[in-house]
Chain A
């Protein structure tokens, strides 16, 4: 089962394969599914401002989570939102120019990688976009180059990979300078952060000469204040380059199914994460409806945490009563007010997940017989119980 997976998925499979809890718990005491559903419904129904977080789940799980949020007036936010909003704020302000994996594999002659080694989060990325048997248009692997800016180059990146060292905090300066240089603006400063301007001038020239370049970043690794400004600068670089050549962004994401959950919420409701159903109409606010902020400032009095893909992400500790839907080995099961062991999509049941470039939705199939309920089933049961409250 694990032969085709990356090291992250192998570890995940291994953890999911260990024997774990097969029974729901209400305040740590084994309960029937019905008892647990009733207990969860009571908490959500009685709450002034419930929050549904985590949201590491497949399309079916997310469909049920949105329905439940609508039913009980909850706020929806994903565990990875902090990273995702670095991209989203820039996207909603200016848009984006992007491409997808098969285009990279067949066309991309230059990778400029910003602030990430890629492979720590996406171990098979460079393997997937390599083409040992040739490409559609004759591009050879030997003709590809990669430049890593502000991160250690991945060993299997095209190249040998080049490196422009800089501190992560200097990336906004470096990107702003690169945006100016690619747009043909003359800069007087000798350095951007610690990077010599001549080195960036050279990079800008290389980028202009590429036929089909890509700027790759992982928002999760741009872990500094107002990283969205750096993403905006990437957008300006791409706009400048596309006046004369083709160059696209590759914002890597999708871990813990953040792209899947966001896609479902978007298509059903029209809004992304950090949407509240409290007033009966969906409202979106990237600041007010930030789950971390709501928990830290005690603005929520019930947390339903959904983590159906693995034991990660772990629910944050807070004063709010916790309803946990997670795999049978969830460490937080005992501290939850209500715990539902749920099946894992792609292991226990089929399902759909959105790939990192958003364009491909993968159909998962079950590899073993389900012993546990799917998250979607539990969430629907809670919705029904609230309707009856």
Chain B
């Protein structure tokens, strides 16, 4: 079927198009140039509307073991947030840790057509993929977590070549169908198992004697050498610790110019000044991002209200467990692979710390110049559930509204923040970069995040509402792979998304030492570790493989 979206104002930053009125043609799931048979198209008048590619969330905890633990831990959250069964949709529930059905439906209703789970433990990859397969409509992808697994740490500690490390990283990505590599508290999760409670960038691991700096370098190098489009995704050391700005700057320096992505940077941008020994260091962080073109970041904005934090960083989560609300937490060591920690949080605007965290996130958004290198996230659900994105977009695009909100927070936090003096308002073009074109480019999704001929027909049509929160909460039309799935913010069709991955080239001779390692030390086999493409299909997902950059191996 041929569909024409007629007369909309198209915002397509990948092609430099900013609000130009033009028709868009969708056929067989793809965007095409104006065809010769355009007269026969099913035409939808979208004049006066804003047309963008489907939104892409590059960091959202939507599936895998720790998310399921968060769901299990939070029945009180689920009680008030039920999704009713309809002729079209199944019932589900949850706000801060929704079921996969609720998450897929709600993401699609908000105009998101792809979500990336950023913390897939390789040993838990199968469950992650099963969960993502049950997340309807949106496309998915996973970042495999490395840097605390004993096989990798042994390679590093015994001085194995970078080539060998690259092969291992490639093997992990292949077996688990990952699209990127993430490191969480490099070496720290492992160190916690040795009863270490803190690990700084240049502090040696208590057993392997390697430093987080060395781990970061080896992984950033591997990701680069393998040609993985997205630079190493880094959740740094000392998350949430006052004064951690120095850690974050050291992390940037450790990359030595190799591409890295600093995730939920807000949680890593703290000073330790003032009466509360907690201050904003957003200026130094933004300056560093602006000055280092190899660095990108997503913000991990917090919003006030109840949420639950779910992280691989059990060292940090154990440290923060007593700050949680309600006071309960899960801390888990996992299979010589990594760990996880789940702590519910209630961020309050009258708490100095929470209010300043809120301000710090916004300060970073407004102080980083290049929207291609900063991404809109709440680190769902750690800063806030993804359903708060429309509110966040309003905060970024509407200075007067932001000022109103600023007046409501703890007065000391307001005084300690530069937010009141930042008058920048994000344009819709910049929002489209941060939520579409940018994520697609950094992840290497060549046919997503833009509206050029050949792209997947993931298209969103918004009313141009001065209230940007309302505008982004309920798009008028959402198309996924060319099919109309949302009309006026309500689902009209439920489809299955695909899984995006990259398959870097690596030397499969790495399988012999890995198999021996599994046999000697693990409680499962290396053969069972690999998820074949057939099995992925059996799980319920189709695989889309994207190209790696010209590999330099």
Contacts and interface: CB of A to CB of B under 8 A. Distances in A.
A23 interface: no
Given A70-B90, A102-B336, A359 B330 contact: no
Interface in A253-308: 263-264, 266-272, 277, 280-284
B78 A270 contact: yes
Contacts of B131: 267
A18 B185 CA distance: 53
Given A133-B520, A267-B68, A97 B124 contact: no
A284 B100 contact: no
Contacts of B522: 102, 105
A95 B73 contact: yes
Interface string B506-541: 000000000000001111100010010001001100
B480 interface: no
Nearest to B532: A363
A211 B332 CA distance: 16
A272 B74 CA distance: 11
A98 B124 CA distance: 15
Given A136-B150, A361-B127, A268 B99 contact: yes
Contact of B72 (A88, A362, A363): A88
B193 A103 contact: yes
Contacts of B72: 88, 91-92, 266, 272
B200 interface: no
B35 interface: no
Contacts of B330: 91, 95-98
A103 to B, nearest CB: 5
B123 interface: yes
Interface stretch (A114-122, A154-162, A241-249): A241-249
A309 to B, nearest CB: 18
Contacts of A101: 335, 523
Contact of B91 (A267, A282, A361): A282
B327 to A, nearest CB: 8
A126 B337 CA distance: 21
A185 B330 CA distance: 24
Interface stretch (A31-39, A42-50, A218-226, A350-358): A350-358
A360 interface: yes
B521 A360 contact: no
Contact of A263 (B84, B121, B127, B523): B127
A308 B154 CA distance: 42
Given A105-B521, A131-B521, A267-B71, A281 B84 contact: yes
Interface in A32-80: 59, 63, 67, 70
A94 interface: yes
B449 interface: no
B98 interface: yes
B93 interface: yes
Interface in A101-115: 101-103, 105-107
B429 interface: no
Interface in B50-104: 63, 65, 67-68, 71-73, 75, 78-79, 82-85, 90-94, 97-102
B477 interface: no
A111 B219 CA distance: 36
A59 B100 CA distance: 15
Nearest to A133: B520
Nearest to A103: B333
B96 to A, nearest CB: 10
B155 interface: no
Contacts of B194: 246
A63 B538 CA distance: 13
Which of B82, B94, B335 has the largest number of chain A CB atoms within 10 A? Answer: B335
B408 interface: no
Interface of A is mostly: mixed
A63 B136 CA distance: 14
B520 to A, nearest CB: 5
A209 to B, nearest CB: 12
Contacts, number: 181
B328 interface: yes
Contact of B102 (A94, A270, A354): A270
A107 B340 CA distance: 18
A70 B194 CA distance: 46
Contacts of B521: 102, 105-106, 131, 135-136
B318 interface: yes
A359 B65 contact: yes
B329 interface: yes
Contacts of B93: 269-271, 281-282
Contact of A359 (B84, B100, B195, B335): B335
Contact-residue bracket for chain A: 35 or more
A359 B93 CA distance: 23
Contacts of A217: none
Interface string B328-347: 11111111110000100000
A266 B68 contact: yes
B83 A267 contact: no
B254 interface: no
A23 to B, nearest CB: 28
A28 interface: no
A360 B123 CA distance: 6
Interface string A117-146: 000000000001101011111000000000
A96 B329 CA distance: 6
B335 A360 contact: yes
Contacts of A97: 330-332
Contacts of A94: 327-328
A329 interface: no
A149 B154 CA distance: 37
Given A103-B193, A103-B334, A267-B63, A352 B92 contact: no
Given A91-B72, A242-B318, A359 B328 contact: no
A183 B207 CA distance: 28
Contacts of A98: 330-333
B99 A269 contact: yes
Given A70-B91, A95-B342, A101-B335, A363 B126 contact: yes
Nearest to A105: B523
Contacts of A211: 195
B333 A270 contact: no
A245 B79 CA distance: 37
Contacts of A106: 150, 336, 521
A100 B92 contact: no
B130 interface: yes
B134 interface: yes
A214 to B, nearest CB: 10
Interface string B402-434: 000000000000000000000000000000000
Contacts of A318: none
A63 B101 CA distance: 12
A100 B335 contact: yes
Contact of A63 (B121, B134, B150): B134
A207 to B, nearest CB: 14
Interface in A324-361: 350, 352, 354, 357-361
Given A95-B342, A268-B101, A103 B91 contact: no
A357 B90 CA distance: 29
Contacts of A277: 85, 91
A165 B276 CA distance: 52
Given A96-B331, A267-B71, A281-B93, 4 more contacts: A91-B72, A97-B331, A211-B195, A267-B63
17 contacts: A63-B134, A92-B72, A93-B328, A97-B331, A98-B331, A103-B333, A105-B521, A128-B523, A246-B192, A264-B130, A266-B72, A268-B99, A270-B97, A284-B75, A359-B124, A359-B335, A362-B524
